[in-house]
Amino acid sequence: MIGWFVNRLAHAVAVLFGVVSVTFVLLHLSGDPLAGLMPPGATPEVQAQIRHANGLDRPLLAQYLDFVAGAMRGDFGDSWRQGRPALTAVLERLPATLTLTTLAIVLAVVIGAPLGILAAARPASVWDVVARLTALLGQAVPAFWLGTMLILFFAVDLGWVPSSGLSGPVSFALPALSLAAYPAATLTRLLRAAMIETLGADYIRTARAKGLPRSRILVGHALRNAALPAIAFTGLQAGFLLGGAVIVEGVFAFPGIGGLALDAVATRDIPLVGAFVWVVAVLILAVNLVTDAIAAALDPRLRQIGGTARGAARW
């Protein structure tokens, strides 16, 4: 197990290095990094001073090496707009986004897992119809449109919750529901299909022949194997929601890292953009590592081959 963990950790470091390198390349391919900082009508002397102050007058290879070396230890320098460490600016907004994403994932699991299990346990029943309709609607409705409709109904018409900002725990309700809709729908369909396939396996028929209770067969035997693809999907969605929360945070004017990232891109604040991408990448890698560890605990074969939760499908 220790060897498996070291292998996964080394893989995460390599991925982080690749993310940092791609970020540097894309930021410089998008145009002059200081285009947004140059005052109108700046003389060549002023432009040269600004470039020198931000270290952009050096060879591109030297800039890349400094960027990667700093990023791998979490140092991106000061934000060009805010004049303080870029990583500090991102970390200040991170708790709000983490709370929102965690609530969305929990809500998706609470909605999607029971619906998927009930639909698989009773095919063609009312629960099956409800599960399939919920999955269809959740996957068809865009998060930004759902968020707008939720604001109009619950905030404007009913006045139950604030329409924007972060003024208390209730402010998380609508953004979390908007984020949770798609993963809940996909989790319902995924778990339903996996459970139906698992319930037709030989060992399940053997368990039924032995007279085991239906609940024990569903939870103790079928769900243990059917949950592997669902766990992998949940881990992937957690990472997706961390980065994809930018749109929902914009709809609700939520003070998370999404709004900060949008402002940084608009003003071409490279240190702030780099810090945002680095933080999201680290969180996604951490979530995937935890997901793979849970899958390896459920299926020892994954530890033997050094696999991941996503590799469970090959078995």
% of residues, the chain, pLDDT over 90:
0
CA distance 125 to 122: 6
**Domain tally, the chain:** 2
Cβ atoms of 121 and 208 closer than 8 Å: no
* The last residue of a domain, from among 72, 99, 129: 72
More confident residue, 167 or 64: 64
| Domain shared by 56 and 179, yes or no | no
| Domain shared by 274 and 310, yes or no | yes
Residue 303: predicted pLDDT = 55
| Domain shared by 176 and 309, yes or no | yes
Cβ atoms of 161 and 154 closer than 8 Å: yes
CA distance 186 to 274: 31
Q: How confident is the model over 111-119, as a mean pLDDT?
A: 85
Q: Does residue 77 lie within any of the structural domains?
A: no
Asked whether residue 90 carries a pLDDT value surpassing 80, the answer given is yes
Asked whether residue 314 carries a pLDDT value surpassing 70, the answer given is no
* pTM attached to this predicted model: 0.73
Compute CA 184 distance to the chain's CA centroid, rounded to the nearest angstrom: 14
Nearest CA-CA partner of 237 in 188, 170, 197, 307: 188
pLDDT 10s digits, 125-135: 888 888 888 88
| Domain shared by 137 and 278, yes or no | yes
Residue 300: predicted pLDDT = 63
Q: Does residue 305 lie within any of the structural domains?
A: yes
Q: Among 179-193, 249-263, 282-296, which stretch is predicted with the lowest mean pLDDT?
A: 282-296
Domain extent, residue 238, equals 87-314
Q: Does residue 250 lie within any of the structural domains?
A: yes
Residue 313: predicted pLDDT = 41
Residues whose CB is less than 8 angstroms from the CB of residue 131 and which lie 6 or more positions away in sequence, other chains included: 115, 116, 118, 119, 188, 192
Asked whether residue 150 carries a pLDDT value surpassing 50, the answer given is yes
